[in-house]
Copies of this chain bind each other. A is one copy, B any other.
Amino acid sequence: MIDDTQLDGFHEECGVFGILGNDDAAALTALGLHALQHRGQEACGIVTHDGVNFYSHKALGMVDETFNRSDILTKLKGHIGIGHNRYSTTGEPSLRNVQPLHGDLDDGGFALAHNGNLTNALTLRGELMKKGALFQSTSDTEIFMHNMIRTDTTAPIHDRIIQTLSNIEGAFALVCIKNNQLIGVRDPMGIRPLVLGKLGDAYILTSESCALDIIGATYVREIKAGEIVVIDKNGLQSYQLPNTAPKKFCVFEYIYFSRPDSHYGEGADSKSVYQTRFRIGEKLAAESPCEGADIIVPVPDSGVPAALGFAEASNIPFGYGIIRNHYVGRTFIQPTDKIRHLGVKLKHNANKPLIEGKKIVLVDDSIVRGTTSRKIVDMVRAAGAAEVHMRIAAPPTRHSCFYGVDTPDESKLMASKYSVEEIAKEIDVDSLAYISMGGLYEAIKDKRTNYCDACFSGDYPVKLTDHLNRHEKKAISSLARGA
């Protein structure tokens, strides 16, 4: 019996970047990945192409550790580049799963980076194996590669992309290099984000607009749901996947993933992430005020804009009652048993004078397992908060995401197990409220039908083939670790 998580890196949120038309493609891609670092800190990689050869560098670690040497960037020659940031999952990381992937096809090299998750990966993996595909990683991303090699090499690239994706279910934003072209694709519902920019004559594709800002590039537009863009020296051609469906953009980009200085959504509907979070805070204050509170305290950093909105709408002062230490690396001192009970606070510290004896409102973006929330509450209580109320800038997270976000199994989601009242008791707050689904979309200023909010509602827009068939699958023999 298989656990889906055996497919290493099955659930993840990542960042992708691609550029065509600048001889510093590698450096610009590295800068783009740096701006997208919040989307994945486990590993990163860049593949470039100079019209003849492909060049690759991938490593575990962050962008500024991996690409800080000019000799590395110098070796990544070419005017086309794609890059990928990988999210840190709990399992042991493996270099073999680091993207972009690159392979030799009969008609030349093909490189691809993917943000998202396929919902029929196990099914397709089994079918492809039967057809002779050799899987050398445990990532679902390899399926795109094997599908691509099975396409008609005489067809134009957009047709081959359509063929590649014809049996793939799930959510994906792809950037690829083939035949001197940069290709970008967004899944039929556009669940995972991808935007288009320009820097002089060069075209850029990236998960978020903030990666355009870092290099001074101009935002052009969102890639549409189901859109394929094929970019070469002659410009950009746009095509549509035949199974393009009404768009269902991921609502969680607004709530947590995207950097606040990015904006998200198509055309005039593209909304500032910061301002949307601020409005969620305002709505939350209207829906679930906290009368008589002394101070609105964000759980930093993601709760800040909503807390500002809540404070403004409530006319209650906003203050940093919790201070975050930004120097927390990925590995650190494992406290011995002797000191573990001290409750070492590596990441957050209470700002005691601000909260001591006060009735405080903590504003956070979401509650997942509830363990972090409980620790935060304990900390502010220990610092002397008289009352602790919590307001969450999202509806309760009751369902797992199967479209590329690393959420735990539903059975581990606090809101799946408990009522709001019970959660309040579990995390020891005097009151707890989430924004309503209606309030959320009012704050977003868009219709709910444009979004996937399965993590809140359980309404999964894309079939969960693997999940539904989980007992019928055979285990895959995975390398526990490889280099």
Chain A residues engaging chain B, CB cutoff 8 angstroms: 23-24, 27-28, 30-31, 34-35, 37-38, 41, 45, 47, 52-59, 62-65, 67-68, 70, 73, 75, 77, 95, 98, 101-106, 108-109, 125-126, 129-136, 138, 142, 145-146, 149-150, 199, 210, 213-216, 259-261, 263, 272, 274-275, 278, 301, 304-305, 308, 312, 317-320, 323, 325-329, 331-336, 338-339, 342-346, 349-354, 476-483
Contact = CB atoms under 8 A, between A and B. Distances in A.
Copy count, this protein chain: 4
A353 B274 contact: yes
Most chain B CB atoms below 10 A, which of A34, A35, A333: A333
Contacts of A336: 24, 27
A260 B320 contact: yes
Given A64-B329, A317-B312, A483-B56, A260 B214 contact: no
A34 B64 contact: no
A146 B131 CA distance: 11
A275 B332 CA distance: 31
A135 B104 contact: yes
A101 to B, nearest CB: 7
Contacts of A149: 129, 132-134
A121 to B, nearest CB: 12
Contacts of A199: 342
Given A104-B138, A132-B133, 17 more contacts: A31-B346, A34-B325, A37-B325, A37-B327, A53-B477, A54-B478, A56-B479, A56-B482, A58-B483, A67-B333, A102-B136, A103-B134, A106-B130, A132-B149, A213-B349, A261-B351, A261-B352
A335 B138 CA distance: 32
A73 B351 contact: no
Contacts of A478: 53-54, 104, 109
Contacts of A216: 342-345
Contacts of A70: 333-334
Those 5 A-B pairs whose CB atoms lie nearest each other, nearest first: A109-B477, A106-B129, A56-B482, A272-B353, A64-B329
Contacts of A323: 210, 259-261, 274
A102 B482 contact: yes
Contacts of A142: 134
A350 B130 CA distance: 50
A210 B131 CA distance: 42
A272 B319 CA distance: 13
Contacts of A353: 263, 272, 274-275
Given A215-B339, A272-B351, A332-B34, A54 B312 contact: no
A53 B53 CA distance: 36
A215 B339 CA distance: 8
A308 B336 CA distance: 40
Contacts of A352: 261, 272
A95 B483 contact: yes
Given A133-B149, A325-B37, A339 B106 contact: no
A104 B476 contact: yes
A346 B34 contact: yes
A408 to B, nearest CB: 23
